[in-house]
Amino acid sequence: MRQIEVCFSPAVYHRFHNPDSIVVIVDILRATSAICTAFMNGAERIIPVGKLDEAKLLKNQGYLVAAERDGIVADFADFGNSPYNFKPGKIKGKTIVYSTTNGTKAIDLAKSSYRVVIGSFLNITALKNWLITEDKNVTILCSGWKDKFSLEDSIFAGALTEKLIESGHFETICDSSLAATDLWSVAKPDLLGYIQKAAQRDRLRKNGLDDVIEYCFTTDKTDIIPILSEDYLIDLKYCENTNNFFKKKIQVQ
């Protein structure tokens, strides 16, 4: 039976790392919801970068850049990480450089795993179906907020854990998976009401950015699974021929 583990903070990921596992990166408000939206709306690839300096450098090289810290858009960036920014007219066929407070750090930590994929409520069922087809253990890595536990990421981890266990292909003996599943069972009957409690929501409201909550908790708007291939995120369906795809489409600088 395959195992599921949930890691509540990037600061604890060293205790979960397994080079043979698939890692699902979660940052519901808002990085992974925005990344799923970007691919849904036709983005070709996303370059996650940890440091703002690096994002700025790539902006100067002509890339479209989404970058923010603490919910505030970086002054040199084209936009921040609200999913609403990733409109087809702006991003279709484009490569986007993406840097956020928490999400890109988690991607970076997990990159030596078997596969790194992006999870959100927007693609949860597609993700569950794909994870079932792969013969690997799964680690769900919650991005949290500056290493702190995040309620919305943990609830998503619980929802995905529940789906995977219900499939009959997975089990868990991990305390944090069990906790995440219980939190999901508390939240599920009134998901939006529940998330009002989250500290993250207060932060978002303070920055006038809380308009995306309902959207970010909508399930199954897309079948796309963003996957890390070398240093880029692409749509999983292009992953098998990653090198050809990149050579044909984009000359990396």
List contacts with a copy of itself (CB under 8 A): 8-9, 11-12, 14-16, 145-151, 154, 173-176, 178-179, 182-183, 185-186, 197-200, 202
For a copy of itself, which is the closer residue by CB, 147 or 230?
147
Looking from the CA of 64 toward its CB, the CA atoms found within 13 Å total 19
For a copy of itself, which is the closer residue by CB, 49 or 209?
209
For a copy of itself, which is the closer residue by CB, 81 or 200?
200
Where residue 205 falls (left for φ over 0; alpha for ψ -120 to 50; beta otherwise) is alpha
SS3 content of the chain, % helix, strand, coil (to 5): 45, 20, 35
**E strand or H helix that includes residue 99:** strand 95-99
Report residue 190 as tokens.
């009134």
User: For residue 60, which phi and psi values (nearest 5 degrees)?
Assistant: -65, -20
For a copy of itself, which is the closer residue by CB, 149 or 245?
149
Measured CA to CA, the distance from residue 127 to residue 138 in angstroms comes to: 11
Measured CA to CA, the distance from residue 84 to residue 23 in angstroms comes to: 26
For a copy of itself, which is the closer residue by CB, 14 or 248?
14
Measured CA to CA, the distance from residue 8 to residue 144 in angstroms comes to: 7
Fill in the amino acid letter for 159.
Answer: A
How far apart are CB 150 and a copy of itself at their closest, in Å? 6
For a copy of itself, which is the closer residue by CB, 11 or 57?
11
List, in order, residues 6 or more apart from 75 with CB less than 8 Å away: none
Question: Tokens 């699974």 appear where?
Answer: 225
How far apart are CB 180 and a copy of itself at their closest, in Å? 9
How far apart are CB 3 and a copy of itself at their closest, in Å? 11
